[in-house]
A and B are shown apart, each in its own frame.
Chain A
Amino acid sequence: MSEAFDREEYDRLAAEFRYLITDMICRAKSGHLGGALSLVETIITLYWRVMKVDPANPLWPERDRLVMSKGHAGPVLYVALAYKGYFDKALLGTMNTDGTMLPSHVDRLRTPGIDMTAGSLGQGLSAAAGMAMAARMDQRAHKVFCVIGDGESNEGQIWEAAMFAGHHKLDHLIGICDYNKLQIDGFTDDVLTLEPLRAKWEAFNWHVLETDGHDWDDLYDTIVQAKALTGKPTMILAHTIKAKGNAVCENRPESHNIKVDDQAAYDKYMCALGDIECELPY
């Protein structure tokens, strides 16, 4: 770990992320809470410490790209983009409202900073592979990050893209699997096991790294290491906890998509975050 790192500041940022994500979803009366909360540290690490981006110029050709293939994790990305200055934080309160620029599933045509549309699972990794292929053709040095879900990895297209990227040795491409071990209907091991997951990606000719997806040092070191790897694409298996930080639904399948019908439900989900001081920007 070479750069200066203020752990307390990052912990506070992560807490604010969780507060805002939960509040935004509750205001929308429903939403994909679990898979957004499991990605908080990953997305902060990417946008604050690793990715080369310019919020004033979202389409800057030299930037690192991010494809959120598990498109329902939009809320965590929206908080990151707003905090980085891609758009006004006040807009976070408009998620999923009529005419919104922040739809539950990411949409490149609506939101500055969203590099690719996603929401129909399994498709983003192919697009990221195409973007990595273009980067190679154009002899650019940037990376294309692609966040996939573990449940999403049930989709056959993930493995088509895996085979393609492995075959073409697309080292512009870094995948991150949000391995929180849960999908809508239950634990991945009960619905459709992914194991041996590391061996699968290795068998598809990828470098594979593993990290604790909530440990700042481990995440940062792993992603930095991934950026330096060449000759193959890299898949990072980020071991995470679904709905991390929200006590009522942490590591529970129900956290995938919560319904918030009344004030009692709102209070339940907000109180479950613990003692977080955060002023809503909207």
Chain B
Amino acid sequence: MEQPKLHELEMRAVYARTLCELAETDPRIVVLEADLSKASGTNPTFSTAFPERFINVGVAEADMIGISAGLAVEGKVPFAATFTPFASRRVYDQITISVAYAGLNVKIVGTAPGITAGPNGGTHMCFQDLAIMRAMPNMTVLSPCDCHELRACLRWMAAHDGPCYMQMIRMKQPRVFDEGYEFSAEQAVRLREGADVTLVSTGYMTPFALQAADDLAVEGVAVDLLHVPVVKPFDATTLVASAQKTGRVVTVENQSIIGGLGGAVCEILAEQCPVPVKRLGVPDQFGEIATEQYLFDKHGFGPEHIKAACRAF
């Protein structure tokens, strides 16, 4: 039977399939889970293909980070996944000291980022992980938007020697790229070219931003749409060039507007190209159990809000 195409899969299935592909040729790859292996997608795909390289630590995220660090000391390349809040804020000190400060090659994967935590509600809806992981020296922070980019990010992370944190949407995503997508960790991706306003997005919000840009084009507003898969280190060159061209910038993210993508954009522009910026995302509030539409409307970062913010400039 032919394998389903990548874009027909849930993102977590792409995660598991890509890790299996990597593990075939790279004996250093090991996978860690903290009792969420089915939620992350590695069980049963990876766990049955490579049982000796699959470690379920139980509900013990701090331990998972430490074990990953120990494996990395010995030259392994551990990919450790759990829900975003438990992969970031719960283990912030463990990642800081045992991984980043210790200079260890551990790949941390935060699943179900932001509002995609949906039915688990406020306790599981983490809006800070981009901000706090970005504040950590040595850490590369990624947020891929679709299946092809997820696979590309994983391949890059496996080859890159250094700690990484990646947000991973679990469900199926609209396609933004195709099989031929060439990921660069240094460069933002210009998805639409325009001179009226710069729109910067990452991860889950990029398909919405793309739709908004296309709708605005019909209205006669030309959006320069930058998708940023690597939030740190940030591609300041592309951002500044775009801001110089358009003179106004809107950011949108599935995160708090404090310290994440919008924060990074403001830091760079304030120093290198001060222009008006509007940040869309969650304005310093906790999550709650609700539909996506409700959360978009409450916090003002859905497709209609993106368009309104771009028009307002």
CB-CB < 8 A to B97: which residues of A? 117-120, 123
With most chain A CB atoms within 10 A of its CB, the pick from B58, B66, B71, B102 is: B66
Q: Please, what's the 1-or-0 string for A85-119, where 1 marks a CB less than 8 Å from any CB in chain B?
A: 00000000000000000000001110000011111
Residue of A nearest to B96 (CB): A120
A125 interface residue, CB < 8 Å from B?
yes
A10 interface residue, CB < 8 Å from B?
no
A80 interface residue, CB < 8 Å from B?
no
CB-CB < 8 A to B52: which residues of A? 137
Q: Is the CB of B58 within 8 A of A163?
A: yes
Q: Please, what's the 1-or-0 string for B53-75, where 1 marks a CB less than 8 Å from any CB in chain A?
A: 10101101011011111111111
B263 interface residue, CB < 8 Å from A?
no
Residue of B nearest to A138 (CB): B74
Residue of B nearest to A161 (CB): B63
Residue of A nearest to B97 (CB): A120
A176 interface residue, CB < 8 Å from B?
no
Q: Is the CB of B60 within 8 A of A115?
A: no
CB-CB < 8 A to A123: which residues of B? 62, 66, 69, 93-94, 97-98
CB distance from B74 to the nearest CB of A (A): 4
Contact flag A160-B101 (CB < 8 Å), given A130-B69, A131-B70: no
A127 interface residue, CB < 8 Å from B?
yes
- Residues of A127-144 at the interface with B, using a CB-CB cut-off of 8 Å, are 127-135, 137-138
In the bound complex, CA of A167 to CA of B102 (Å):
27
Q: Is the CB of B98 within 8 A of A133?
A: no
In the bound complex, CA of A135 to CA of B75 (Å):
11
B103 interface residue, CB < 8 Å from A?
yes
Contact flag A163-B103 (CB < 8 Å), given A130-B69, A133-B67, A133-B70: no
Q: Is the CB of A126 within 8 A of B66?
A: yes
In the bound complex, CA of A217 to CA of B242 (Å):
72
CB-CB < 8 A to A122: which residues of B? 62
Partner of B66, one of A125, A134, A138, A163: A125
In the bound complex, CA of A134 to CA of B69 (Å):
11
Knowing that A117-B103, A123-B69 touch, tell me 19 more A-B residue pairs with CB under 8 angstroms: A107-B101, A107-B102, A115-B73, A116-B102, A117-B101, A120-B94, A123-B94, A124-B66, A126-B63, A128-B70, A130-B73, A131-B70, A134-B71, A160-B57, A160-B60, A161-B63, A161-B66, A163-B58, A167-B58
6 A-B pairs within 8 Å (CB atoms) are namely A126-B63, A127-B98, A130-B71, A156-B62, A157-B94, A161-B67
- The 3 A-B pairs with the shortest beta carbon distances in the complex, nearest first, are A130-B70, A126-B66, A134-B74
